[in-house]
Each structure stands twice: as C-alpha cells, then as structure tokens.
Chain A
Amino acid sequence: MNIERQEIEKLATLARIAIDESTITEVAERLGSVLELVDQLQAADTSSLDGVSSGMQATQRLREDEVTEINQREALQATAPDTEEGLFLVPKVIE
C-alpha cells in the first residue's frame, strides 16, 4: 500500500515526531507494509455484530470523590528536565 509523502508529513506533525527528509521514503515504505497487513480486516464479515463493539465488556468502577493522593510535587519534579519554583519550564510560548 502506497502512502504519499504529504501523508507522512501530516502524521509526523500529528504525532509530534520530527522525521528527517532523507528517511521519509523508507518510513513510508515500512508503514505501507504494515497497513497492507491491517487492511486484511476490511474483508472480515462483522455483520453479526451490533455497531462498534468495544471487545471488552468491563465497566468502569466508580469511587467516592475524595482526595486520596498525597502531594509529592518535589519528588515528582525531581525527575523533570527543567523546573523553577515548582513549575515545569518549557521554551517561551508567547511571541
């Protein structure tokens, strides 16, 4: 299955993964091979099923709306690449 170069660029933007120009053809080829595999699904007869099935019948558990987590800001921020005064630092967003 062929995927256009533009399609790969769009996916790279959506997934926030920078793809080097020189590898786009290779990436497209390998993605195409996987999509060819998953396209076998289209031939499956699913008419016996009602609408979209989740495959999982489990329902989500509910709990009381109570605070159960303790504040671990310092411990959790200790692993961050860059913090200041309890905040995560990123490059300036506003021009």
Chain B
Amino acid sequence: MHNLTIAELIKGLQSKEFTSVELTQHFLARIAALNSGYNAVITITADQALKAAAAADQRLAAGNAPALCGVPMLHKDIFCTNGVRTSCGSKMLDNFIPPYNATVVDNFEQAGAVVLGKTNMDEFAMGSSNETSFYGPVKNPWATDCVPGGSSGGSAAAVAARLAPGATATDTGGSIRQPAALCGITGLKPTYGRVSRWGMIAFASSLDQGGPMARTAEDCAIMLSCMASYDDKDSTCVDREVPDYSATLGKPIKGLRIGVPTEYFSEGLNPGTEQAVRAALAEFEAQGAELVEISLPNTGLSVPAYYVIAPAEASANLSRFDGVRYGYRCEDPKDLTDLYSRTRAEGFGEEVQRRILIGTYCLSAGYYDAYYGKAQQVRELIKQDFVTAFEKVDVIMGPTCPSPAFKFGSKGDDPVAMYLEDIYTIATNLAGLPGMSVPCGMVDDKPVGLQIIGNYFDEARMLNVAHQYQQATEWHSLAPEGITAPDGITATERAS
C-alpha cells in the first residue's frame, strides 16, 4: 500500500479496497520499523491517527467523504498542531504544545486527512541540510551518509522512504524544492500569499510560504487544492479563488514556451546534474514545447540579498522567544536581562544565533541603508528580471540545486558554503514567485531535481507541465535502495 500515490489511495479507499484504519496501521508500522534509520519523524501521533482513521472510515461508508478522507500524511513540525508538540526543530520549543491549529492543519483536518505525526527539520527552518535540528540530522533514504536537504528534510525523507504518501513543508529560500530534489520527490512552493501562514512559525515573513511534498505532481495538485485558502488571520494571504489543480493536469503542453536562464547553467553546476536537466528539457521539446534562452542578470545577487533580508526579518520574528510566555527558560536567572540572554543562548542553536546576529547587524543604526535598504532594492531588480522574462515565456526551467545530496559535515565550518546550496531557488522567494522541483534523473545513484518556476498564481500550469513530464518518464516512481517496490524491482534496477 505504501507504494501507491495519494490519487491511487483515494481511489482504493473510495472503492473499499482497503480501509483508512488498515492504511493508517500500515504506515504507522512502517514508521515504527524504518524511521530510526532516517530520523525523519520526530513526533508520532498514533492514537489520534487511528481515531481519525476510524472516523474517516465512517464518512467513507456513509458516502459523504471529503477530498482527502482517510489518507495518511505528515506535517512539518513548523505548523502548530493543537495539543501536539510543535518544536520547529529547536530546543527553544522542545516543550511547546500549541493550544491551536495552523490554518493549513485545519484545512487538512477538514478534508479528512489522517495525521501520522510531525517531521524533523532544520532549526527554525534555517538550513539546507537538516544538520541544524535539535533532534539530530535526517538521513537521506537514497544514501544514509548524505543529507536529505533542508529545511524540510524530514518531510522529504519521509515521503521518499514511503513513511507517508505526502507531507506538508515550507520554503523560505528553497526549503521545499532543494530537499525534494535531493530525496527524489516532487515539491511545490506556491506564490507568496497562496497558502495561509497563520500558525506556521515565522522565520522570514516576506519570504515564507507553505506547500506540499509528495511523489508526483498529481498528488501535489490534490494536496495544494486543500492547502491553499484565503485566510483572514494572515494579512498577506491573497483573496483569490483556489482552482481545482487536478482538473487541468491532462492538458497537452504543445506550444509551451520554456525559458532557460543562462545564469542557471554556469560555473559550479555539477556536470551530471546539468546533463539530467538538459535531458528533461529535451523531453519537453519532444512533447512540443519550445525552449527559449533567457537571462536573469541579477541571479548572482540573490544569495547576498537574501542573507540580509531573511536574517533581518528573523531577528525581529525570533525576538518573541524570550523565556517569558512559552518555550525554554534558563535556570535561576539573576535578573530580567540575564533571563533573556541566557534563555536565548541556551535555547537557540549556533546557526539560528548567527542569523539573529547578522540580522541585528544589518538593521542597526549606521548600517541599515547600506545593507537592508540596498538589499530591498536588489530584490526589486531580481523581481523585474522575472517580470521581463515572463513577457516572453510561460515557465522557466533549470536545475533545483547545483549538485546531488552531499555528505554530512562536508560543507565544513564556513556558513557561506551551505548558503550557496540555494543559489537557484532563492530568487523565486525574493520575487514571491511559485517554484517546484520534479525528479529528472540520477547521478551517482542519487536523485536530481528539475526546477520549474511559474508566473504569479500560475501553479495550475506548473502542475500540468510537471504531470505531463511524469506521464512520459519514470524518475518520480523510483524508490531508494532497500525500499523495494511490490514487484521486487529496486530503484537502481529500474533506472538501468
């Protein structure tokens, strides 16, 4: 059952091939048996899941079941879940049990989904390797000595290892797309404002956006239809009708204009990754799409601009963690300043502290204009690059990240080496555009992701394009070694 897609599970549940309780028990058993090898799931909500599954079975029997009724899934531990610990991967929130649900969590609950638990992540979503989590790193199911990517590495690894058919995730600079690429699954970061951020613990509010992770574009479409909604409680949420993303998947892509940015195929790109991405582009051409060379001249400035804007916003957002109202508090504070300073020094990990300090520096008197003001201007230039490009093309394609999954610790002590991992993904966050990653090949037995960037609120087209690609290719259906498909064929065998 774990090799079925969400679309297939919905059919199976509705035609009574299996019940939601059976399905939930199956996935809970897989998590119990396999999770220790990956560290992808950090909270398991077995009792609640089984109760929700039983209720789903009743609704399925009564014939009034909503879209995702009875389908098991996981939430990234950044989404607040009523009565269930929400840690954000940090010691600071290790004991935090929210008294409310994030809007995204409510949406899935109303759609009848069954929540199996919460997934591991980089602390406060700051990282590209999952090495900053308080709960230890997540291991990549394709190569357990390699990182799964980050920050949504737990969600990505769980979906790749078939511990759940889908999971929620968030993306501030590539945190959905990069782990999706490194774990060989499909992930989508929607347009800024498409999905409510209410109850999603804030990192950089003008960049953060929640989105789905699953094995196929078809499943991401099903999940996004449920996840996206207008929400009064998030003032940046856009009041715009949510299309049925599943309805347009079958459209032929003949005549589609695909922009290929020169800057995304420059120095630093792994030759194997480039080859896989070029092969994917050729497949689109074979289906009748037209490749158009474009330029996004300010691409090189996106990482510097991001590392001013994101830390600046983080330094403000994370000031709420002070040991007074929730979360960790240091022992025996001697006064209020000591309470704040030691709570934050002991509760936050190294990377989070570093970003707060960078943000504080960039916003401090005398530096504000040179750093924050300038970064906002560069952000506007980056956005204009895309606006100009989308006058000529329908979607933009390139690699999701420069190379396949790297080994733990291999980025060394220099934070900048890790930051460059997001060189192809960060610009879309700065511009507020939607982006997705789709498996498109294997290099050294590790997956490669194709990035598809769409125009504002053009998620339906991106999902359509990705689905058409997946109808013609097999990359998305490969399973990591050791997780053999029911027909007994392992990933490597299938790839050859």
Given contacts A16-B340, A31-B358, are A53 and B99 in contact (CB under 8 A)? no
> Which of A19, A56, A76: most chain B Cβ within 10 A?
A56
Interface 1/0 per residue, A37-62 and B, CB below 8 Å: 11111101010110011111010110
Interface residue count for A (Cβ, 8 Å)? 49
Is the C-beta of A33 less than 8 angstroms from some C-beta in chain B? yes
Nearest CB of chain A from residue B381's CB, rounded to whole Å: 7
Give complex CA distance A58, B238 in Å.
9
Given A19-B345, A90-B324, A55 and B430 contact (CB-CB distance below 8 Å): yes
B window 344-368: CB within 8 A of A: 344-345, 348, 353-354, 356-358, 360-362, 364
Q: Is B43 an interface residue (CB 8 A)?
A: no
Counting CB contacts under 8 A, is B232 at the interface?
A: yes
The answer to whether A55 and B360 have CB atoms under 8 Å apart is no
Interface residues on chain B, size class: 35 or more
Do residues B325 and A80 form an inter-chain contact, with CB atoms below 8 A? Answer: yes
Q: How far is the CA of A80 from the CA of B381 in the complex (A)?
A: 44
Contact pick for A52, options B307, B329, B376, CB 8 Å:
B376
Complex CA distance for A80 and B319, rounded to whole angstroms: 16
Prevailing SS type, chain B contact patch: helix
A38 in contact with B375 (CB, 8 Å): yes
Chain A residues positioned under 8 Å from B324 (CB to CB):
80-81, 88, 90
* Chain B CB within 8 A of A5 CB: no
Nearest CB in chain A to that of B325: its residue: A80
Q: Are A18 and B344 closer than 8 Å at their CB atoms?
A: yes
Is A91's beta carbon under 8 Å from chain B?
yes
In the bound complex, CA of A17 to CA of B344 (Å): 5
Asked if B357 contacts A15 (CB within 8 A), the reply is: yes
Chain B residues, CB < 8 A from A33? 414-416
Additional pairs, 17, CB under 8 Å, beyond known A16-B319, A17-B341, A79-B326: A17-B345, A18-B341, A27-B354, A31-B358, A37-B419, A40-B301, A41-B305, A41-B308, A41-B371, A44-B381, A48-B381, A52-B373, A55-B430, A78-B99, A79-B95, A81-B328, A91-B338
Partner-B contacts on A (CB < 8 A) = 8, 11-12, 14-20, 27, 30-31, 33-42, 44, 46, 48-49, 52-56, 58, 60-61, 63, 72, 75-76, 78-82, 88, 90-93
Binding site for A on B (CB under 8 A): 95-99, 192-193, 206, 232, 235-236, 298, 300-301, 303-305, 307-309, 315, 319, 322-329, 333-342, 344-345, 348, 353-354, 356-358, 360-362, 364, 370-371, 373-381, 383, 413-416, 419, 430, 432
